[in-house]
Structure 1
């Protein structure tokens, strides 16, 4: 990264006509919920410039060490109007698990979000014939402010319920301890006490002839009932992530409809697969605002990531003459996979190409089925490379950092169980892609292949550099701050971001140009090193900032 991260960009006002003919390196990106910089480092090697907004202190410390331009704070404390010169909006908002099966909390959370999006969509449609009109904008803004206020009231009420719940949980723990002490005093062995206390999961099935014990048991049961009511109340109220998942949509609406604003040229959002129904609702609003869109469930190993993981991606581009069309006129073309799917017992990765660059599709950890048609090879696409193994990824990056250490053939034993059995730890050999990298990656054991014996010399765990490489960060990425494993697990895989950003921001490239562009970008990503450090900014940093200046 150059000493001045904005030096390459021309800050003269740029019309959309000029953008159509500008070189790929011309985009200024604003990244909401930016994390430690997965999208940022991908954008950097592609020649774009990113400013992130991130609240987590650890992620901000990493971003600062990497030289990533950052505003530290809650996204809700900023507005699209603060950054009028941003051309592209990206982000991965924190979210609930919007599980659509059954009638549980996930379904209710999804229904709540859908209703809020429908309200925003309705007012967007009602004012469609008068874009830029101050009265229309007032109507839109009042709708959002009312939603924001409703969410704020629910958040405050939920905060009070959670505080009360913690107090009840503490009191319940005290009752449980008192029962344990009394049972031991009555001459029960520790094993007998343990078995009796296990039955407290259903206290109504227990009876104690001892009056004192029976009183404690009844009090414990009453506390359980209180906690059940509090859990139901919290589900009804939802949580603050409902408001956060709406933020990117509101920023797009504000830039599209606020008088004097120019709409974002492109939007890229990503999250876990459970968020796909939310992205589908986003699409309805984006179409009304004049965007061409595509949603895609992307299997990361299909795009060069040495890891089986799935991400739900929303891509949007302001509709322009000449923009490549997707399967339908209102859609963008999906991102084409470059690597074969990983399937258990499948063919390992082919050797890396010159310069350590190969090209990867993937399959979810829990499935051996290939991805849907979006990841499939068509007759006019080049053949795919084999998926990339952990061993190959680490070997390719070893020359860039001594922190990536050589190992004999190994097996990674997951911190998580499989098939719903906690004791049945998942296992992946060195010549396979990694299982999904999570915030618990530092707890995974690395053992000699086909054994349960830990590797020696501190090689029985992946260090931060190695875990980052498996997430496709550069080996020299300067991980800093607290809970680095969580930062790595939560991050966007930069190599996946390369493919998505290239597709959305450079749709005019030919197939040959795309292949060359990606080959160079992957090599640059592996070799990337920070060249400076920066300090995170606050609201005072808006004055004179390249994205904020008019």
Structure 2
């Protein structure tokens, strides 16, 4: 069976190169829109899923590849894995952000310099890459030392607990003593060994803290990964004989917004119009609450407006929270309403129950039917705690959107609504159902190990539909764009995989449409 029930209304002959492609969230969206996508992915399990889905794939670390290897790619997309950034405080997140922004500024200086030569720009990138490699090597050494000390501390902790138990301390008391790193006076007199062990435990803990500080200074290897898409754009824009990408689409968690802001400055210097947007997935018909920071860029003089929300945002009970946008401005509910497109009335957000019911109907008509159970009203009990309390599990009822689907989605319990009683059967979401909550087609062929992690890390395909159409099809009228998206959503839901493809390795360029070899 073909990927789409009907051909896209406005197919475009654009070839997309997707860095950090994952199991294919953006790829399947591009597929139903009529684009050809080639992905580069390091995770072998995600590559196994891509292979079964018929998604063109190169396996390996993005850093081993170069933009010049794929001269016929016209659009660059990706979601580089990023460490946790923060704009506040002086912790690891703040330092990681400062480091990334410093590297981006260095690249911007090289690109924007008067009479900038490719050789000078490339030398700048090499210096950054070598600095990152040096820090990575040093970090590995520190990590090895830290692991050895942690092993010794674990032995000491075990002995401390044994002695404290013999003196009839409860588990709560033992936890408190180890956290305070102090032995109560009466116990010191009763157990001479205890004070010495506690001193050793304090010394080892102090060493571990020192190693953590060193690692914080050295940074995270993902710093180099978040810079990769920018470098690929620079290479295609400044390397002699290369043609710039026509468009760029990048997405990540909201804390990456400051990075996208600096990316946009460089892209503007390279001749791109850009748009940055904090997108709420449920506001685009995804049956899940999730926020993504999206950077859109297009070569030339045509502006990119923000993507208009089609559905209402989901709000739990309680006070309206104030969100921070990419420039740090705090805005509340009134501002939210003023920013949305009001030309068309928004639909209500999509619930888990509605999405799974539709999937069940589609699944019964597939070439190879898939079982999607018909459950009674249920509540999802999260694997995660809320409000800092690991015991206070988050809960969402079946008639609401799912909470953010993570790599632990298979650990969530399904109970009868309003109770803590497990459903007698189907008490966990299947992989197909978890994929549906991310808006993957019910027929998506999840494969390999740790499939929940693949699902949780993926880009919601329905969100990708809206972003790709916005960036790649600027000439459509509003009515044409709406019709295009409605058809694409329908095609996405009923999509079925084509024949399995062989995943290529680095160096396997022969005959590939993007390599020109």
Same fold (TM over 0.5): yes
**Contact 2:309–2:341, Cα closer than 8 Å, also in 1:** no
Cα distance between partner residues in 2 of 1:470 and 1:372: 28
Distance 1:57 1:408 in 2: 37
Query: What does residue 442 of structure 1 align with?
Result: 410
Counterpart of 1:406 in structure 2 is 374
After superposition, residues 47-86 of structure 1 pair within 5 angstroms as 47-86=34-73
Distance 1:73 1:173 in 2: 36
Change (3 A) 1:192 1:336: closer
Q: Is the 8 A contact 2:308 2:341 kept in 1?
A: no
Aligned to 1:343: 315
**Contact 1:95–1:242 (CA<8 Å) still a contact in 2?**
yes
Tell me: CA distance 1:391–1:197, structure 2 relative to 1, closer, same or farther (3 Å): closer
Give, in whole Å, the separation in 2 of the partners of 1:525 and 1:363. 33
1:22-421 pair list within 5 angstroms: 24-127=11-114, 129=115, 136-184=117-165, 187-189=166-168, 191-192=169-170, 195-204=173-182, 208-209=188-189, 210-320=191-301, 323=302, 325=303, 332-344=304-316, 370=333, 373=336, 376-379=339-342, 381-401=343-363, 402-421=370-389
Deviations 1:133-171 (A, max 9, x none): xxx000000000000000000001101111111110000
**Does the CA-based 8 Å contact 1:299-1:363 persist in structure 2?**
no
The answer for the alignment partner of 2:429 in structure 1 is 462
Residue 279 and residue 206 in structure 1: after superposition, are their counterparts in 2 closer, same or farther (change >3 A)? farther
Q: CA deviation at 1:470?
A: 0.4
Task: Tell me if the contact between 1:249 and 1:282 (Cα under 8 Å) persists in the aligned partners.
Answer: yes
Deviation at 1:290? 0.1
In 1, distance between residues paired with 2:273 and 2:92? Answer: 32
Q: Is this contact kept in 2: 1:71–1:536, CA < 8 A?
A: yes
Shift of 1:383: 1.4
- Asked if structure 1 preserves the Cα contact closer than 8 Å seen for 2:2 and 2:496, the reply is no
Per the TM alignment, residue 492 of structure 1 is displaced from its structure 2 partner at its CA by: 0.2
Structure 1 pair 251–410 and aligned structure 2 pair: CA distance change class (3 A): same
- Counterpart of 1:495 in 2: which secondary structure? helix
TM-score for both structures, normalised by structure 2: 0.92
Q: 2:466 matched to 1:499? A: yes
Secondary structure, aligned partner of 1:122: helix
1:177-236 CA distance string (max 9 Å, x none): 22233445xx423x4476235311231465623332222211111101100100000000
Per the normalisation by structure 1, the TM-score is 0.86
8 Å CA contact 1:403–1:466 kept in 2: the answer is: no
- Structure 1 residue ranges, 4+ long, deviating more than 6 angstroms after superposition: none
Contact kept? 1:342, 1:363, Cα under 8 Å: no
* 3-state SS, counterpart of residue 476 of structure 1: coil
- The correspondence for 1:475, drawn from 439, 442, 462, is 442
Cα distance in structure 2, aligned partners of 1:81 and 1:525: 32
Q: Residue 537 and residue 378 in structure 1: after superposition, are their counterparts in 2 closer, same or farther (change >3 A)?
A: closer
CA distance in 1, matches of 2:281, 2:338: 10
> 2: CA distance between counterparts of 1:270 and 1:377?
20
Contact in 2 for aligned 1:299/1:371 (Cα 8 Å): no
Residue-pair matches, total? 497
Seen in structure 2, the aligned counterparts of structure 1 residues 67 and 400 have a Cα distance that, compared at 3 Å, is same
CA distance in 1, matches of 2:286, 2:333: 16
* CA distance in 2: counterparts of 1:512 and 1:473, whole angstroms: 25
Shift of 1:92: 0.3
Aligned partner of 1:328 in structure 2 is none
* Equivalent in the alignment of 2:493: 526
CA distance in structure 1 between the partners assigned to 2:231 and 2:88 by the alignment = 28
1:509-520 matched pairs, under 5 angstroms:
509-520=476-487
Q: Unaligned 5+ residue runs, structure 1?
A: 9-21, 131-135, 326-331, 347-361
User: Structure 1 residues 371 and 201, CA, compared in 2 at 3 Å: closer, same or farther?
Assistant: farther
Q: How far apart are residue 405 of structure 1 and its match?
A: 1.7
- Could you list the runs of 5+ residues in structure 2 that have no partner in the other structure? 324-329, 364-369
Superposed CA offset, 1:37-92 (max 9, x none): 00000000000011111101111111111111111110000000100000000000
CA distance in 2, matches of 1:442, 1:521: 29
- The residue that corresponds to 1:452 in the other structure is 420
Q: CA deviation at 1:341?
A: 1.5
Partners in 2 of 1:163 and 1:371 — Cα distance? 51
Deviation at 1:372, TM superposition (A): 5.4
Cα deviation 1:111-132 (Å, max 9, x = unaligned): 00000000000000015x56xx
Distance 1:193 1:479, change over 3 A: closer
Give the Cα separation in 1 of the matches to 2:231 and 2:473. Answer: 25
Structure 1 residues 33 and 533: alpha-carbon distance in aligned structure 2, compared to 1, 3 A threshold: same
Local SS of the residue matching 1:232: helix
Closer, same or farther: CA 314–266 of 1 in aligned 2, 3 Å: same
Q: Secondary structure at the match of 2:275?
A: strand
Partner of 1:428: 396
SS at structure 2 position matched to 1:405: coil
On the 8 A contact 2:13/2:35 being kept in 1, the answer is yes
